[in-house]
């Protein structure tokens, strides 16, 4: 059974169409990533699935229940971690967990049992009496995730959980998500990090409230039209400017090298003279597989 089914969802705020005829399916044991620029509609989609906003049109089902009419039956199945930190900063780690346990009707024995398991995977046990407000960014996010998991939901909705989190904490956070997936949870996560998209089972690129593309990370990278190359030059400002002036070719900095892109049905050889003029010889150009970010940027048409 599909854990989340969004059908033809539309939502406007005044004249602005935040979500436009959007469809999504999330299944058991899968991580689904939503990727898109600010204002693409990601947060509206999350809020709609969690029953926090009314829809203009369309239908959403979670665990088979209709969000609009049967939300009380959905609550036990749904865990939501909003984008902004929403825990009580003056309460300790354990008090926050206890508060959430109370909201979902856990008794004391159930809470003790659940707490033990949450501390095990989050590593928060050693900070049980620290005020939530005094935790580091990565720890805050782990606590927020723990609170969202207190009632063993089947579906986890995570809105940009790793924004502002350092790489090591991010890795640890994703290790937890992979464990939860193994345990059979369905996870929907929005993220601005392409490396996290690569860790997901499926991803949806969103822009202007509409779906641009959907598929596995490999499928999405394969959508790229044209060819990509790595050029072993120092990406100085000057070099990038000269490259960008070559008509028909696109160039982007990629770490300490430059990536260039030709259009579909175009050949790199056509640009050899122009490249030679700025000191780039064919020997330092190697073809590469387009990356997810290349596809994303191309689809956005920027």
Binding segment (CB under 8 A) for another protein, from list 114-122, 125-133, 218-226, 235-243: 235-243
CA distance 192 to 34: 9
Distance of closest approach, residue 227 Cβ to another protein, in angstroms: 20
CA distance 203 to 220: 8
What are the residues facing 12 on neighbouring strands? 17
Contact mark string toward another protein, 105..134, x via CB under 8 A: ------------------------------
Q: Which is nearer to another protein, 155 or 177 (CB)?
A: 177
Of the residues 165, 212, 221, 260, which one makes contact with another protein according to CB under 8 A: 165
Which tokens belong to 265?
């049905």
User: What are the φ/ψ torsions at residue 65 (nearest 5 degrees)?
Assistant: -100, 145
- Does 138 bind another protein (CB under 8 A)? Our answer is yes
Bridge-based pairing state of the strands 78-81 and 227-231? unpaired
Query: SS3 of 7, please?
Result: strand
Distance of closest approach, residue 220 Cβ to another protein, in angstroms: 13
How many amino acids of this chain bind another protein (CB under 8 A)? 38
- Does 137 bind another protein (CB under 8 A)? Our answer is yes
Of the residues 170, 181, 202, 259, which one makes contact with another protein according to CB under 8 A: 170
C-alpha angle 42-46-52 in degrees, rounded to nearest 5? 130
Helix count and strand count (H, E) for the chain: 11, 14
Task: Give residues in contact with another protein (CB under 8 A).
Answer: 35-40, 83, 136-139, 160, 163-171, 192-195, 237-238, 240, 252-256, 293, 296-297, 300, 302
């Amino acid at each position: 059974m599909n854990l989340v089914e969004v059908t033809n969802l539309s939502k406007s705020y005044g004249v602005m169409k935040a979500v436009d005829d959007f469809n999504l399916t999330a299944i058991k044991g899968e991580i689904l990533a939503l990727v898109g620029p600010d204002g693409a509609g990601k947060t509206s989609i999350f809020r709609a699935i969690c029953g926090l906003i009314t829809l203009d049109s369309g239908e959403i089902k979670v665990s088979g229940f209709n969000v609009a009419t049967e939300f009380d039956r959905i609550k036990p199945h749904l865990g939501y971690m909003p984008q902004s930190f929403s825990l009580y900063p003056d309460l300790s780690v354990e008090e926050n967990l206890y508060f959430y346990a109370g909201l979902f009707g856990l008794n004391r024995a159930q809470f003790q049992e659940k707490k033990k398991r949450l501390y095990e995977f989050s590593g928060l046990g050693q900070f049980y009496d620290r005020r939530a407000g005094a935790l580091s960014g990565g720890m805050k996010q782990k606590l927020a995730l723990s609170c969202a998991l207190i009632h063993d939901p089947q579906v986890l909705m995570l809105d940009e959980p790793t924004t502002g989190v350092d790489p090591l904490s991010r890795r640890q956070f994703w290790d937890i998500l992979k464990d939860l997936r193994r345990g059979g949870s369905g996870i929907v996560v929005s993220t601005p990090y392409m490396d996290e998209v690569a860790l997901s089972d499926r991803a949806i690129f969103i822009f202007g409230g509409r779906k641009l593309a959907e598929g596995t990370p490999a499928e999405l990278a394969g959508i790229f039209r044209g060819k990509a190359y790595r050029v072993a030059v120092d990406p100085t400002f000057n070099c990038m400017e000269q490259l960008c002036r070559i008509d028909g070719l696109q160039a982007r900095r990629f770490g300490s090298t430059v990536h260039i892109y030709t259009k579909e049905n175009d050949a790199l050889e056509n640009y050899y003279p122009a490249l030679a003029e700025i000191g780039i010889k064919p020997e330092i150009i190697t073809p590469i597989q387009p990356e997810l970010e290349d596809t994303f940027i191309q689809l956005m048409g920027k």
